[in-house]
Amino acid sequence: MRSYQIYEVYNNHLKNYKKFNEILLDLRNDAMKPKHWKDLLSKLHIGTKFQDITLGDLWNADLLGKNKIVNDVLTQSRGEAILENFINMIKETWNTQEVELVNYQSKCKLIKGWDDLFQLCEDHMNNINSMKMSPYYKVFEKEIEPWSKTLEQIRITFDYWIDVQRRYVYLEGIFFGSADIKSMLSNEFTRFKNIDTDFTKLMKQVTKTPIVLEVMKIPNLEKMLQTFTNSLQLIQKALGEYLEKQRSNFARFYFVGDEDLLEIIGNSKMIKNV
């Protein structure tokens, strides 16, 4: 049959169908959503609705001759799919992400694993900043922006929290471990007792619902942590001034660090220990 002209005609038809089918394979990509098909059909001037389209409609649209139109729509769909996957990953992670807790003095649980939490937050914020550089960002802007603000708020809140927790643990060991300090800094001890009550109450609330996004819903959380920080700073300042006074009364204390000096003062009635 190769000697007949009709052979060449149909052979070329079949070669074109083969190339056409390669384009169809690309169009079967999961990234092609109904909105992308609607856009493609409009640009190809195909009046048939997406759900009613046939292979013949696409054959007749001359996809080979309009390959640039097809590639533009495919590029758009793939770019949007990448952003959509990023968003879904962020949602899935933070909807189940819990703070890591550890028992403390049989009073409450404290947060640990701060580095992992901050790193996760930082990674996802960097992902969002990368998304903003994408030409397809506008499509998802309304969905991404709230997450950008949420992650920023998580970082700010837990920055306060880690500072409060460190100060709390340090001062809790001092005030509840030394009767002398209680009596010598009675006002600060009373203030710390109030903080101790409120802070342990907060941590018990966290223990009930340790998912980060649920923790962030605690009323006035950031303001509460700021108040703790300010109060603990004042207490620590008063403690520092007290230690400096002890050093000025007995110069050799200048050679002793705060921790050791507090232990000496706390054991002042036990000569052998001192």
Q: How far apart are CA 178 and CA 180, in angstroms?
A: 5
Rounded mean pLDDT, 128-142: 92
Is 93 a member of any domain? no
Q: Is residue 114 part of a domain?
A: yes
Q: Which pLDDT score, from 0 to 100, does residue 86 have?
A: 93
Judge whether residue 170 has pLDDT over 90. no
Task: Give me the mean pLDDT over the 100-123 stretch.
Answer: 93
Give the CATH number for residue 162.
1.20.140.100
Range 12-20 average pLDDT: 88
Q: What does the pLDDT read at residue 269? A: 63
- Collapsing DSSP to helix, strand or coil, 34 comes out as helix
Residues of the chain above pLDDT 90, percent: 59
Q: What is the pLDDT of residue 266?
A: 59
Q: What is the pLDDT of residues 40-62, one digit of tens each?
A: 999 998 888 888 888 888 888 88
Same domain, 79 and 206: no
- Higher-confidence residue of 219 and 265: namely 219
Query: Does 29 share its domain with 155?
Result: no
173 and 223 in a common domain: yes
Spatial distance between the Cα atoms of 152 and 145, rounded to a whole number of angstroms: 11
Arithmetic mean of pLDDT, 261-269: 64
Q: Where are the alpha helices (DSSP H) in the chain?
A: 5-27, 34-43, 55-60, 67-96, 114-132, 137-175, 179-184, 186-208, 212-215, 221-249, 258-266
Q: Residue 184: which pLDDT band, with cuts at 50, 70 and 90?
A: confident
How far is it, in rounded angstroms, from Cα 168 to Cα 80?
A: 47
User: pLDDT at residue 7 above 90?
Assistant: yes
Helix (H, G, I), strand (E, B) or coil at 31: coil
Q: Do 50 and 105 belong to one domain? A: no
Q: Does 90 fall in a domain? A: no
Q: Which domain holds residue 25?
A: 5-85
Look at residues 117, 242, 101, 256 and name the one whose alpha carbon lies nearest to residue 171: 242
Domain count, the chain: 2
Q: How far apart are CA 163 and CA 168, in angstroms?
A: 9
- Residue 103: in which H helix or E strand, if any? strand 100-104
Asked if residue 63 and residue 115 are part of one domain, the reply reads no
Residue that finishes a domain, picked among 55, 85, 115: 85
Q: Six-digit token pair at 151?
A: 């992650």
Q: Chain-wide mean pLDDT for the chain?
A: 89
CA distances from 185 to 5, 80, 109, 237, 259 (A): 107, 62, 27, 12, 16
- What pLDDT score was predicted for residue 267? 59
Q: What is the pTM of this model?
A: 0.79
